[in-house]
Amino acid sequence: MQTYDLEADGLRGLNSALQAQQNATNQTSWEVVNPKGSHAIAVGLDAPIEVTIKGSTGYYCAGMNQQATVKVEGSVGPGVAENMMSGQVIVDGDASQYAGATGHGGLLVIKGNASSRCGISMKGIDIVVHGNIGHMSAFMAQDGNLVVCGDAGDALGDSLYEARLFVRGSVKSLGADCIEKEMRPEHIEILKDLLDRAGSDAKPEEFKRYGSARQLYNFDVDNAAAY
């Protein structure tokens, strides 16, 4: 295992070293100590390596991730796993605003709570939150799955496209064009797989599914007042 002291050796050196890893690297396991809330840790990775951050981080941790598994033994600031393409990002604590924003793929697991706009404009990422999420989550979400084992705040799924939202607890309110939908057997299977991968013991049958009513992005003059 490679151990990197962020306080002593600096952020630029860490990201340069991690971004330099290739598929054939033998430096597959990294530990980052003394993060002390630094921003943009482990961004732009593109190799099947494992990075464990021993503490909480600031903005945009593990942004633009491809292939790598990044684990944060703490909480994260805004924009964790922003624009992630593949791989995994696992947060042991809580996440601030817009976790997983614009993510195209991969799996983001938040074992605590997530703040507002979780999964905003998600484009294929899978997000599993063990706790609660804040308001305006999955705003303009286009593809992928958002799983919430706790409660959801106001305006869930506002202006939603084709992403699937699964919530076990209560939903304070639904956003424009977001409705509750039937939970069919194929959705149970999708949810079971995501919960297993995220290390949650929640039962898929306890969740409700929400999705797009498909009225806003298919123009209809009768809905003109809603645009």
Alpha carbon 193 to chain centroid, angstroms = 16
Beta bridge partners of 71: 52, 90
Indicate the pairing of strand 208-212 with strand 2-5: unpaired
**pLDDT of 43:** 97
Nearest to 86 by CA among 62, 66, 70: 66
Three-class secondary structure of residue 138 per DSSP: coil
pLDDT beneath 50, residues of the chain = none
Reading the block at residue 31, the tokens are: 């530990």
d(CA 160, CA 58): 28
- pLDDT, residue 225, reads 67
What are the CA-CA distances from residue 87 to residues 71, 160, 184 (Å)?
11, 25, 28
Structural contact between residues 175 and 156, judged by C-beta atoms closer than 8 angstroms: yes
pLDDT at 147: 98
Q: Which helix (H) or strand (E) holds 15?
A: helix 11-19
CA 110 to chain centre: 7
The span from the CA of 116 to the CA of 191, in Å, is: 22
d(CA 135, CA 46): 32
Are 180 and 209 within 8 A, CB to CB?
yes
Nearest to 179, CA basis, from 218, 207, 213, 156: 213
